[in-house]
Amino acid sequence: MAKGGDINDASGLSRTPIYGVVEVSEEDHIAKALAFARANGLKVSLAAIRHSMGGHAFDDNALVLDLKKFNKVAVDAAAKTMTLQPGARWHDIQNMLHPRFAVKAMQSTDIFSVGGSLSVNAHGMDHQAGSVAGSIRSMRVMLADGSVTTCSPTENTELFRHVVGGYGLFGVVLEATLDVVDNAVYRTSREIIKSDDFPKFFAEVLEPNKDIGLFYGHLSTAPGNFLKDMIVYRYDKVAEEPPADQPAIGEPGSVGLKRVIINLAKWGSLFQELKWFTEKTLEPKFETCTVARTTAMAQGEACLVTRNNPMHDSVPYLFNDLTDETDILHEYFIPRAAYNPFITAAREDPAQPVPASAQCLCAHRPQGGCGADLRAGAGLFAGALHQPAGRCRRQCQDAGADAGADRCDDQAWRAVLPALPAALYGQGVAGVLSRTAGLPGDETTL
């Protein structure tokens, strides 16, 4: 155990003093750590990749269990399941499952741990699979007293219901058995629609068509078109299984270009318009079609990919190399029926803390924009805000607002979220983000 020191999350904005860190690679380490905590009256926190911002994964003076190396994975092809330790990351899991199988439910990016994903009941691009809860066959969980129990949708259901989405508050997930699905072949396409028409589009086009395996929506944040248009990306199934010669899954391309465009978009409306222009017109030209041309020809020369391709996105273009800035992702989970009022309110009242135009959340009226994504899945909508914290802090300080400066960091969303009409948002916020050099100021001392 590394004793003392601080810990931080991926934003680098949540430095927290802790009792110490236990690096877990075996179940016994967890049992011993819990016994030690009970004997010494310590709080225990569970941490994996630490992309949940604002201290979800660690408490003041807690004994932190670092689960990243507790990460074994075993696939049962006959049962179409995989049994994993919670530190396993989707990215590595996909590399193991490919080319035959794919993950059933996960986030729209692959950088997270299974434990961190089960604990927030994450969802992603497969609107039919829904959130990860629906892919769990069973879990083994260690409770605070050190006892180990199994729970599933049919066994110990109350514990199951609490642990999934329970942010590590009800027990340590030791192991989970999850469904895997076929690595189906999809035809990719995209369509620009009015964002106000999205609920109708979802109900009439996306939801009834069971061959649409994945989709997401991306709303315009260009000032001239703010939240008015959206690109809907869809993946229509054309075959249950991939061709035998399927290559390894590639990494996202054009990373430098995408990063430059995101950075430029922080600096004013001209660049925000450029960002929307490239998303609309240039992005399709860079699309990688991974399934062989012979198969594509049979599909009218469509661009074909396997399920693992769009789901294998480690978003390297979101990792910010600027030393004085942190990009924060804000996600708003909104009931489907509240989508239009939410978007309308955001569009008409820029003082709302909705993404995009909120360059500095310490300002009452957001200036310019930092770019935003709105991903839509299964009636839930997530907004992404890229917030240059360093610059915001300076702006607030220049305005003589020290308190405001604090609100420019990862606490900002907490300060402003209650201002949203409660009826317009649902479960709350899962925030996160990316910062250049990993986790600065981390569990240093001993």
Nearest-angstrom CA–CA distance, 85 and 409: 33
Q: Does 54 bind ligand FAD (CB under 6 A)?
A: no
Within 13 Å, how many C-alpha atoms sit on residue 6's CB side?
12
Q: Does 164 bind ligand FAD (CB under 6 A)?
A: no
Alpha helix positions (H), 112-171: 114-119, 157-163
Q: Pick from 33, 46, 343, 429: which binds ligand FAD (CB under 6 A)? A: 46
Q: Does 304 bind ligand FAD (CB under 6 A)?
A: no
Q: Pick from 83, 109, 272, 352: which binds ligand FAD (CB under 6 A)? A: 109
Does residue 385 contact residue 262 with C-beta atoms inside 8 Å? no
Q: Does 432 bind ligand FAD (CB under 6 A)?
A: yes
Does residue 231 contact residue 330 with C-beta atoms inside 8 Å? no
* x/- track of binding to ligand FAD for residues 308-327 (CB under 6 A): -------x--x---------
Residue 261 Cβ, how far from ligand FAD at the closest point, in Å? 17
Nearest-angstrom CA–CA distance, 35 and 266: 49
Q: How many residues bind ligand FAD (CB under 6 A)?
A: 36
Residue 26 Cβ, how far from ligand FAD at the closest point, in Å? 14
Nearest-angstrom CA–CA distance, 202 and 377: 10
Nearer to ligand FAD, 44 or 405 (CB): 44
Nearer to ligand FAD, 90 or 201 (CB): 90
* x/- track of binding to ligand FAD for residues 263-302 (CB under 6 A): ----------------------------------------
Helix (H, G, I), strand (E, B) or coil at 291: coil
Nearer to ligand FAD, 122 or 219 (CB): 122
Phi/psi of residue 260, nearest 5 degrees = -60, -45
**344, two tokens:** 């309308």
Nearest-angstrom CA–CA distance, 227 and 81: 40
Distances 107 to 49, 60, 211, 281 between C-alpha atoms, Å: 14, 28, 20, 26
Chain centroid to CA 321 = 20
Q: Does 82 bind ligand FAD (CB under 6 A)?
A: no
Q: Pick from 55, 99, 168, 355: which binds ligand FAD (CB under 6 A)? A: 168
The sign one gets for the Cα dihedral 233, 237, 240, 241 is negative
Residue 67 Cβ, how far from ligand FAD at the closest point, in Å? 5
Residue 215 Cβ, how far from ligand FAD at the closest point, in Å? 13
Residue 21 Cβ, how far from ligand FAD at the closest point, in Å? 13
CA angle (33 as vertex; 28, 38 as ends), nearest 5 = 130
Q: Does 167 bind ligand FAD (CB under 6 A)?
A: yes
Q: Pick from 33, 34, 62, 173: which binds ligand FAD (CB under 6 A)? A: 173
DSSP 167: T
Nearer to ligand FAD, 27 or 197 (CB): 27
Nearer to ligand FAD, 239 or 329 (CB): 329
Nearer to ligand FAD, 171 or 369 (CB): 171
Q: Which of residues 359-418 bind ligand FAD (CB under 6 A)?
A: 375
The type of residue at 182 is: D
DSSP 113: B
Q: Pick from 22, 47, 206, 408: which binds ligand FAD (CB under 6 A)? A: 47
CA angle (257 as vertex; 395, 290 as ends), nearest 5 = 140
Does residue 179 contact residue 137 with C-beta atoms inside 8 Å? yes
Does residue 362 contact residue 396 with C-beta atoms inside 8 Å? yes
Nearer to ligand FAD, 165 or 243 (CB): 165
Residue 192 Cβ, how far from ligand FAD at the closest point, in Å? 22
Residue 380 Cβ, how far from ligand FAD at the closest point, in Å? 8
Nearest-angstrom CA–CA distance, 49 and 434: 11
Q: List residues near ligand FAD by CB under 6 A.
A: 45-52, 56-57, 67, 86, 107-109, 112-113, 115-117, 119-120, 122-124, 167-168, 172-173, 315, 318, 329, 375, 430, 432-433
